[in-house]
Amino acid sequence: MVSDGVHDNLDPQNLGLNPKDLSLDYASWPDVPLDEGTTAKTKAMNEKFTQLIIDCDQAVTSSLICKKSIRYCRQITATSRQWMEQNPSGILESNYVKYPGKLDHCTCVCFQVGTYIPGKDEVAVSTLNQARWPFS
C-alpha cells in the first residue's frame, strides 16, 4: 500500500513524459481519453515499480520494497526540493520535465502474507536500525 505521494511519483505524466512516450497518438495529456490514458499509465506505473524493486542484488522483502519506494521518491523529487530550498518564498513552476515528480507525503506499507518459518524468516536486526532506515 502506498500513499498518493508514492503513487503520483510513478505516474508518467508527473515524470515529464508525454502521451507519445507511451505509444499514445495524442499531443498532450488532456487530449487522451480517460480510459485509454488510465490503461497506459497503469501499465507504465506497474512496469516502473516492478523495475524499481527487481533492480537490486538483494532478496526482495517487505522492508526492501518500502525502502526502495521512499528512496525513489526522494530521488525523483530532488530537483524540486533543491529549488524550493534555494527559493523559499518562490513558487515552483509546473514543469514536470524540468522538475519531475510531485512533492507530497510518501508512505509505503508492505507486508508478507504466508507461513512464518522460525529461524528461516527472521529479519536481521540491523535492517531495522531507525538511524539508517530508510535512507542508507
The residue assigned the cell 529479519 is 123
**C-alpha to C-alpha distance for 24 and 19, rounded to whole angstroms:** 5
pLDDT tens track for 62-77: 888 999 999 999 999 9
Q: How far is CA 99 from the centre of its chain?
A: 15
Residue 12 lies in a domain: yes
Q: Which residues contact 117 (CB under 8 A, 6 or more apart)?
A: none
For residue 60, what is the DSSP state? Answer: P
**C-alpha to C-alpha distance for 73 and 76, rounded to whole angstroms:** 5
Q: What is the mean pLDDT of the chain?
A: 87
Residue 100 has pLDDT above 90, yes or no: yes
Residue 15 lies in a domain: yes
Residue 135 lies in a domain: no
The grid cell for 9 is: 511519483
pLDDT tens track for 22-65: 999 999 999 999 999 999 999 999 999 999 888 777 788 888 89
Q: Which domain holds residue 89?
A: 4-128
pTM for the full predicted model? 0.80
Mean pLDDT score, 101-127: 78
Q: How many CB atoms lie within 10 A of CB 41?
A: 21
Please count the structural domains in the chain: 1
Residue 97 lies in a domain: yes
Phi, psi (degrees; rounded to nearest 5) at 134: -100, 15
Closest CA to 81 of 95, 101, 67, 66: 101
Residue 118 lies in a domain: yes
Residue 123 lies in a domain: yes
Residue 99 lies in a domain: yes
Residue 10 lies in a domain: yes
Per-residue pLDDT band for 121 (boundaries 50, 70, 90) equals low
